[in-house]
Amino acid sequence: MSSAQRFLAELAQLTADPPGFTRASYGAGEQTAHDLAQREAEKLGLEVTTDPVGNLYMTLPGQDRTLPAVLTGSHLDSVRHGGNFDGAAGVAAGLGMVERVQAGNISPLRDITVIAIRAEESVWFPSSYIGSRAIFGQLSKHELDTTRRSDTGRSLADHIRNAGFNPDHISDGIGFRSPADIAAFFEVHIEQGPILENENTTLGLVTGVRGSVRYRQARCLGAYGHSGATPRSHRRDAVFATAELIQSVEARWRHFEDIGEDLVVTIGVLQTDPEQHAFSKVPGETGFSIDTRALCRGTLDTFEAELMQLCDQIGKQRNVTFDLGQRTTSD
């Protein structure tokens, strides 16, 4: 069994969380993945180092070590109940490639480094590309101290420190690598959509990565009422208002597609308050999320402006208030 096969098989066994796999950013599952990758790298005789946030570098030395290195790899955290290959396939591919280079007695001109990146999945921390940005000194002390993990409520700095690393080294904006140190970066990744499978195509080349505008804790605030005693004209029904907003958002999404704009919209969370809702009660509050992504910043800005108009319009018509909460974004 190759290093890549062994890594993925053991990763599946050790991080299984049916119906998928869970490797929380700066949690036990992510650390297990990094430990397995480091073990395989050491078996291959690679140079292994970590930076102060825990990104893992596994290097096959080149003939001229002064040259910028070739990097390949991906992240090792996952969403809750995610796929075993998400991110991990890129690290496995890097290890497998290095193993083949060694088997062929090939001496590369420059260093080849397989990198396992921390904290890619923003479902855990409401911040994108934490490990990647840390490499280039793009994490601020404010972000380290105020960004909190969704399941623990503890700060990013606390989680980095508890994982055995030192967030103080990155709070001053100093990176661990310079773009000048990197000749190229290749990331092999499992497609998370159905396009390649539906078209029976083996390989796709990425031509763009969608940026995002996200509202993770949006609310619609109306008023609770008795289902039998409150006529429609007097209702401030948060569910019907939210449903109308969602339908209107999808209609606008279709319009953007019709005019050739790239856009995807997801309502990943939709709920009433379990402590307040009841079969015979008009719902006075909903909670939901909105995740919009596009290849063009202008498309995101235009769609977001239309979203605000819809919230205002529907809110006035149905006598409710939409509070979208904190806004997060990535390029």
pLDDT digit string, tens, across residues 261-314: 999 999 999 999 999 999 999 999 999 999 999 999 999 999 999 999 999 999
Complete DSSP assignment for 224-266: -EETTT--GGG---HHHHHHHHHHHHHHHHHHHHHTT---EEE
How, if at all, do strands 69-75 and 182-186 pair? parallel
For residues 286 and 218, give the distance between their C-alpha atoms in angstroms, rounded to a whole number: 8
pLDDT of residue 172: 67
Structure pTM? 0.82
pLDDT of residue 104: 97
Q: Which is nearest to 29 in space by CA: 78, 82, 86?
A: 78
Percent of the chain with pLDDT over 90: 90
Return the structure tokens found at 322: 């939409």
Question: Mean of the per-residue pLDDT values for the chain?
Answer: 95
Domains annotated on the chain, with CATH: 3-198 (3.40.630.10), 211-330 (3.30.70.360)
pLDDT in tens, 14-62: 999 999 999 999 999 999 999 999 999 999 999 999 999 999 999 999 9
For residues 325 and 29, give the distance between their C-alpha atoms in angstroms, rounded to a whole number: 30
pLDDT level of residue 131 (50, 70, 90 thresholds): very high
pLDDT in tens, 160-183: 999 999 988 876 677 889 999 999
pLDDT level of residue 120 (50, 70, 90 thresholds): very high
pLDDT of residue 214: 96
pLDDT at 140 over 90: no
Averaged over 244-250, what is the pLDDT? 98
pLDDT of residue 193: 85
For residues 161 and 151, give the distance between their C-alpha atoms in angstroms, rounded to a whole number: 17
For residues 42 and 287, give the distance between their C-alpha atoms in angstroms, rounded to a whole number: 47
Averaged over 73-80, what is the pLDDT? 97
Q: In what order do the strands lie in the sheet with 47-50?
A: 47-50, 56-60, 112-117, 69-75, 182-186
pLDDT of residue 45: 98
pLDDT level of residue 94 (50, 70, 90 thresholds): very high
